[in-house]
């Protein structure tokens, strides 16, 4: 694996690449890094592709603008375009997980000439709609606060996470996985009690699940202790701005060849069942939709071999 830093249309983006051939751009989610694709990079390279995993802006060694609006969706799409250009590739297949999924989806929606195919992990594509996102999330939270709305106030979630970065990350990863243990009050990580914190619902096991090692947690902890959580959380603080910016594409489908992979025990897969059922209209180029039994949110880590196989088979079909 080769580490590089490129200037993507003026933004510093750190990336790790491996292999030669058609470019596959891998975009991670929250709270992760290029490292979440560590098991896919060599497999994709071995299958004849140039696999490129970036640190999304705000993470790792990539740029960390101060302004909240600098983390709007259109800026992330520009970063992806800039990476493709900086690496001398005219086109790329884009693969995204968690927040990387809508970043990948919108890259393919806005620039299908550059991003000629798209794979979405965990978060299903839903075209820009008519309801302001924070209003929809408030309704989803009911008597509690939906986690995305909990993240809206600058400094609030940062203060919680940075009290104990390692413990918070461990609780978040395990709590979102297929190995999650229910909280004592029966609630989930999706919502926060009024006046409480997200970590109140974390249940940290004595032993990590087999897909997550102490060395993995060491890596993530070192990254976030160095960079903090402000940039990553600012992505959530743009959901209403994204909704406004993307209104010109309201209701538009993604037409390039596509793939979806979700986890049976993953909240976004469950909440996104309606979006998944509409793939025939919203992603007419879909070439596969897979729900992995017993799997949670961190697909490419929890089911590394299966996700790598599905990706390489799909890539070979393009």
Give the chain's length.
318
Burial of 88 (0-12, 13-18, 19+ CB in 10 A): exposed
Going by C-beta distance under 8 Å and a sequence separation of 6 or more, which residues neighbour residue 111?
77, 81
Q: Who's near 198: CB < 8 A, 6+ residues apart?
A: 147, 150, 157, 160, 172, 189, 192
Spatial distance between the Cα atoms of 256 and 113, rounded to a whole number of angstroms = 9
User: Among this protein's residues, is 3 annotated catalytic?
Assistant: no
Tokens of 92: 């790329």
Distance CA 69, CA 129 (A): 21
Please identify which of the residues 14, 55, 79, 98 carries the catalytic annotation. Answer: 98
Rounded CA separation 277/169 (Å):
32
Return all residues near 210 (Cβ < 8 A) that are at least 6 apart: none
Runs of H (alpha helix) within the chain: 40-46, 73-86, 100-110, 133-141, 147-150, 156-162, 165-175, 214-227, 230-234, 239-245, 267-271, 273-277, 279-282, 299-302, 304-317
Would you call 167 helix, strand, or coil by DSSP? helix
Residue 98 known to be catalytic: yes
What is the C-alpha to C-alpha distance for residues 107 and 79, in angstroms, rounded to an integer?
Answer: 10
Two tokens, residue 314: 């799909």
- Give me the residues paired with residue 146 across strands: 191
In sequence order, what are the residues at sequence separation of 6 or more whose Cβ sits closer than 8 angstroms to the Cβ of residue 218? none
- Coil, helix or strand for 126? coil
Enzyme catalytic residues: 98, 297
């Amino acid at each position: 694996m080769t580490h590089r830093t490129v200037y993507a249309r003026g933004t510093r983006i750190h990336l790790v690449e491996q292999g030669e051939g058609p470019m596959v751009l891998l975009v991670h989610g929250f709270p992760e890094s290029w490292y979440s694709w560590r098991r896919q990079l060599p497999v994709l390279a071995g299958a004849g592709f140039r696999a490129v995993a970036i640190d999304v802006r705000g993470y790792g060694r990539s740029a960390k603008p101060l302004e909240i609006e600098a983390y709007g969706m259109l800026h992330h799409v520009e970063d992806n375009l800039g990476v493709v250009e900086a690496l001398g590739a005219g086109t790329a297949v884009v693969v995204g997980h968690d927040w990387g999924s809508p970043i990948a989806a919108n890259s393919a929606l806005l620039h299908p000439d550059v991003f000629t195919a798209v794979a979405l992990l965990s978060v299903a594509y839903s075209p820009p709609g008519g309801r302001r996102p924070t209003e929809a999330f408030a309704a989803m939270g009911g008597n509690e606060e939906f986690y995305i709305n909990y993240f809206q106030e600058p400094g609030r979630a940062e203060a919680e996470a940075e009290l104990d970065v390692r413990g918070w990350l461990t609780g978040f990863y395990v709590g979102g996985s297929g190995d999650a243990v229910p909280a004592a009050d029966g609630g989930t990580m999706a919502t926060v009690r009024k006046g409480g914190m997200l970590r109140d619902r974390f249940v940290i096991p004595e032993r990590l699940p087999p897909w997550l090692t102490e060395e993995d947690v060491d890596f993530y902890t070192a990254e976030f202790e160095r960079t903090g959580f402000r940039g990553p959380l600012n992505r959530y603080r743009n959901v209403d701005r994204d909704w406004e910016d993307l209104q010109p594409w309201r209701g538009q489908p993604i037409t390039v060849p596509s793939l979806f992979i979700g986890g049976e025990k993953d909240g976004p897969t469950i909440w996104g069942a309606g979006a998944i059922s509409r793939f025939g209209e919203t992603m007419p180029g879909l070439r596969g939709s897979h729900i992995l039994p017993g799997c949670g949110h961190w697909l490419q880590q929890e089911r590394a071999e299966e996700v790598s196989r599905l990706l390489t088979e799909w890539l070979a079909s393009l």
